[in-house]
């Protein structure tokens, strides 16, 4: 049995027109010899009648501190509504379908309300549905604990539902349908020259989404990488192939994609609304250093771009965490300064691994445009740079142009292609 999992996000279930388009995608899968499993998100976005945020506010507007258990109960309803409506749309088109909640689909969770992890998946009911010639339509974003408590999986959890089911069912492919044509070389809203990346590795996709690209939920990519499951991010209405995410070029070629030569840089990601904190010690003090980072963690503050020296500690935080961080630093009595209105831009690519000179090119390109680099960090496939927010658009354009991401140039020499 050839199985494909197709996930349809909120913009793909919001109204009759897009649901009909989703039904056509499911029909195409059937005609290609697949047994489709459709995973759906709640219909629409905040303000639409059955969107998760809209449903959530029904309780929050009455009592903002409604317990997380009850919030999970109300939030999981949006996906169930979407599953039934999608099943009805398929029946209308002559396709037999059966709707399932997340727990009917066999997803067992760990009991962490609002951010649950799936600890087991037993998709026997889904398999029987497929064997009986019906399309399984599964409500994403949810599961149930062994003692019957309903959990939601957090933002983007329907992506994770699709990958978990794809893994459990040994699907050939998981398609993630959305309102964009795939993962782009940069944010198209910031740079109109950005193009769709035909293929990337799991590591590149993870790095891009963690550094600012929001097309796919990061845990879904990590889970797909763990199980070597092919993912495709594509548009519901555009017939383009989208972006294939897997372990490398050879697999992509086998799947019918033509990724071409390996590039040094695959894409540019960015994050804004961050601030830089610079803490000055009068003398080396290991105990104070530990208290500093322990206190920040205890206040729920996530830090990034971390540089630690004996007398200076430099890192970034989200701008909305600044009041809490300021309170921590003042209580510790340390000297600090704040660099506000910053942004982080990251160049990401599997092709830069082990290749000398990439950092030199990045620094030269930004310096030639008069863009000041405040701080840097790197991994084996990424270089992140802290800059001033007003320079963000120019930095993204400069790096995108420098590495020729809008064209077929700037690829690795043939001898370095893996």
Query: What's the rounded mean pLDDT across residues 8-31?
Result: 96
Token pair for residue 314?
């430099």
> Residues, the chain, total?
418
Q: With CA atoms as reference, report the closest residue to 163 among 101, 207, 214, 226.
A: 226
In this model, does residue 260 exceed pLDDT 70? no
At residue 409, the pLDDT reads 55
Lowest mean pLDDT among 4-13, 63-72, 176-185, 208-217: 208-217
Distance CA 242, CA 252 (A): 12
At residue 210, the pLDDT reads 87
HSE-up (13 A, CA, CB side) for residue 304 = 23
Asked if 205 and 212 count as a contact pair (C-beta separation under 8 A), the reply is no
pLDDT tens, residue by residue, 285-296: 999 999 999 999
**pLDDT band, residue 252 (cuts 50/70/90):** very low
At residue 251, the pLDDT reads 43
Q: With CA atoms as reference, report the closest residue to 383 among 369, 364, 370.
A: 364
Query: What's the rounded mean pLDDT across residues 261-270?
Result: 85
Token pair for residue 393?
């658009």
At residue 411, the pLDDT reads 52
**pLDDT band, residue 282 (cuts 50/70/90):** very high
pLDDT tens, residue by residue, 110-148: 999 999 999 999 999 999 999 999 999 999 999 999 999
The residue assigned the tokens 């059966």 is 98
Q: Was domain 267-416 assigned CATH 3.30.2130.10?
A: yes
339 Ramachandran zone, left/alpha/beta (phi>0; psi -120 to 50): beta
At residue 250, the pLDDT reads 45
pTM across the whole model: 0.85
Query: What's the rounded mean pLDDT across residues 382-386?
Result: 95
The secondary structure of residue 372, as a DSSP letter, is P
At residue 256, the pLDDT reads 46
Q: With CA atoms as reference, report the closest residue to 96 among 144, 62, 63, 133.
A: 133
In this model, does residue 363 exceed pLDDT 80? yes
Distance CA 291, CA 16 (A): 56
In this model, does residue 156 exceed pLDDT 90? no
Distance CA 174, CA 221 (A): 11
Domain ranges of the chain: 3-254, 267-416
Q: What is the mean pLDDT of the chain?
A: 91
Distance CA 377, CA 415 (A): 28
The crossing angle, in degrees rounded to 10, of helices 77-92 and 16-31 is 60
Topology of the domain covering 3-254: Carbamate kinase (3.40.1160)
**pLDDT band, residue 219 (cuts 50/70/90):** confident
Distance CA 268, CA 212 (A): 9
At residue 410, the pLDDT reads 55
* Gyration radius from the chain CA atoms: 23
Q: Which own/partner pairs from 255-261 qualify as long-range (CB within 8 Å, at least 24 positions apart)?
A: 255/173, 255/230, 257/198, 257/199, 258/198, 259/198, 259/199, 260/198, 260/408, 260/411, 261/411, 261/412, 261/414, 261/417
223 CB-near residues (< 8 Å, 6+ apart): 160, 163, 164, 167, 229
pLDDT tens, residue by residue, 116-126: 999 999 999 99
In this model, does residue 270 exceed pLDDT 60? yes
β-strand pairing of 150-152 with 142-144? antiparallel
pLDDT tens, residue by residue, 304-360: 999 999 999 999 999 999 999 999 999 999 999 999 999 999 999 988 888 889 999
At residue 255, the pLDDT reads 44
**pLDDT band, residue 83 (cuts 50/70/90):** very high
Q: With CA atoms as reference, report the closest residue to 233 among 189, 196, 279, 272.
A: 196
Asked if 349 and 265 count as a contact pair (C-beta separation under 8 A), the reply is yes
């Amino acid at each position: 049995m050839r199985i494909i999992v197709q996930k349809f996000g909120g913009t793909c279930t919001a109204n009759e027109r897009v649901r009909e388009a989703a039904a056509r995608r499911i029909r195409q899968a059937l005609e290609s010899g697949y047994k489709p499993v459709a995973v759906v998100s709640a219909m629409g976005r905040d303000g639409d009648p059955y969107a998760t945020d809209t449903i959530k506010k029904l309780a929050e507007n009455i009592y903002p501190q409604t317990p997380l258990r009850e919030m999970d109960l109300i939030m999981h309803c949006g996906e169930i509504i979407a599953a039934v409506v999608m099943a009805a749309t398929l029946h209308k088109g002559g396709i037999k379908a059966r709707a399932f909640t997340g727990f009917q689909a066999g997803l067992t969770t760990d009991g962490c309300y609002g951010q649950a992890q799936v600890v087991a998946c037993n998709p026997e009911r889904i398999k029987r549905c497929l064997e009986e010639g019906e399309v399984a339509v599964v409500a994403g974003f949810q599961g149930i604990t062994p003692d019957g408590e309903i959990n939601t999986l957090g933002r983007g959890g329907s992506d994770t539902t699709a990958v978990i089911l794809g893994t459990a069912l040994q699907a050939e492919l998981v398609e993630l349908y959305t309102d964009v044509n795939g993962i782009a070389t940069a944010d198209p809203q910031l740079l109109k020259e950005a193009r769709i990346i035909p293929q990337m590795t799991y590591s590149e996709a993870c790095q891009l989404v963690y550094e600012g690209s929001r097309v796919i939920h990061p845990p879904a990519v990590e889970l797909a990488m763990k199980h070597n499951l092919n993912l495709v991010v594509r548009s519901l209405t555009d017939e383009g192939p989208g972006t294939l995410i897997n372990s490398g070029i050879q697999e992509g070629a086998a799947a019918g994609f033509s990724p071409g030569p390996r590039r040094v840089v695959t894409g540019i990601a960015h994050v804004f609304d961050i601030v830089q904190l610079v803490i000055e010690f009068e003398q080396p003090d290991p105990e104070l250093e530990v208290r500093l980072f322990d206190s920040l963690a205890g206040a729920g503050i996530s830090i990034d771009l971390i540089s630690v020296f004996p007398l200076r500690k430099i890192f970034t935080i989200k701008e909305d965490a600044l009041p809490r961080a300021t309170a921590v630093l003042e209580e510790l009595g340390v000297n600090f300064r704040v660099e506000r209105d910053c942004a982080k831009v990251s160049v990401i690519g599997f092709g830069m691994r082990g290749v000398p000179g990439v950092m030199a090119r990045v620094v030269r390109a930004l310096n030639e445009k008069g863009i000041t680099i405040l701080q840097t960090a790197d991994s084996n496939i990424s270089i992140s740079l802290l800059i001033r927010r007003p320079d963000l658009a120019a930095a993204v354009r400069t790096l995108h142009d420098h590495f020729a991401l809008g064209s077929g140039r700037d690829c690795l020499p043939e001898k370095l292609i893996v």
